[in-house]
Amino acid sequence: MNSRRTFIKHAGLAAAGAIFLPSFACTAATAKRNVGLQLYSLREQIPHDVKGVIEKIANAGYKEVETYSYSKEAGYWGLDAKSFKNLLKANGLTSPSGHFVIDNFITSGDKELLKPLIEGAAAVDNHYFTVAWMSEPIRKTLEDYKKITARLNEAAELVKQAGMKLAYHNHDFELHKHEGGTTGYEIMLNGTDKNLINFEMDLYWIVRSGNDPVTFFNKYPGRFVMWHVKDMDKANHALNTEVGTGTIDFKSIYAHAKQSGLEHLIVEQENFKKDPFVSIKESFDYVNRELIK
């Protein structure tokens, strides 16, 4: 009898849960994405006052930051990884991704060079270990890009062991056409293991190179889990401006966020005509109000 009562009780709870499930699912589906900031935007400020800068970023409304410039010796702008993680937590921030330069590994294949960087990323709970840039000497030809692609696959295995996933952040040089009209970006997208490697699309550089982000979303669905949302100045395309005040139609791009596989939307601005903290607040407000509403 008791077992039957228990069964009926559990069945009733399950039925009640089913009643509320659609409402819960709807709420989850409409939850707003967090807005992040690439800390490189404030590269002139953060080395001098890391705690104050992080506090101002949080006060502007951001919930995530993307790091750059970590080294085992200097940590995160003079803070060791644990202290920096605690600073983020105290300000209600997380860091889903960090930017790293791994040219020396791509050249040599020495995985020992990666390990301190991977440890630094894991220590602040990065989900993505993101390759930020490659210097010109190692990316001149398609053969170079084939080597880079192989190295990225190797690095991704090591990153996976640390509980993260490798990502690659583009500029415009990857879109330059080589013999046969092929680009380095295509080599990397087609040759990297999609189960181990995703991409962070810098929308500014894709648009500035004359390409359409949505074309890539359609051809490689689900691969672009992060975006850099960086606007193009109307008068001078070589400059950035506050998101929503430039030439890039972010609304039409954001309409394809699902096809992209978007998880993290990260504001970046590399040059300013006004106070940088006023600027990053204006960009946050536009993204929060107009894109992820």
CB 13 within 8 A of CB 7: no
Decide which of 3.40.50.1860, 3.20.20.150, 2.30.30.60, 3.30.429.10 is the CATH code for 33-291.
Answer: 3.20.20.150
Pairing of strands 165-169, 128-131: parallel
- What is the percent of the chain with per-residue pLDDT over 90, rounded to a whole number? 88
Instruction: Mark out the alpha helices in the chain (DSSP H runs).
Output: 2-29, 50-59, 81-90, 103-108, 115-123, 142-161, 184-191, 203-208, 213-219, 250-254, 257-260, 276-286
List, for residues 64-99, the tens digit of each pLDDT value.
Answer: 999 999 999 999 999 999 999 999 999 999 999 999
The full set of domain ranges for the chain reads: 1-31, 33-291
Is the pLDDT reported for residue 221 higher than 50?
Answer: yes
Compute the distance between CA of residue 34 and CA of residue 267 in angstroms, rounded to an integer: 11
CB 64 within 8 A of CB 37: yes
Pairing of strands 231-232, 240-241: antiparallel
List, for residues 173-213, the tens digit of each pLDDT value.
Answer: 999 999 899 999 999 999 999 999 999 999 999 999 999 99
**Verdict on whether the full-model pTM lies above 0.85:** yes
Confidence class for position 172, pLDDT limits 50, 70, 90: very high
CB atoms within 10 A of CB 27: 9
What DSSP assignment string belongs to 86-154? HHHHHTT-EEEEEEE--HHHHHH--GGGTHHHHHHHHHTT-SEEEE----GGG-SSHHHHHHHHHHHHH
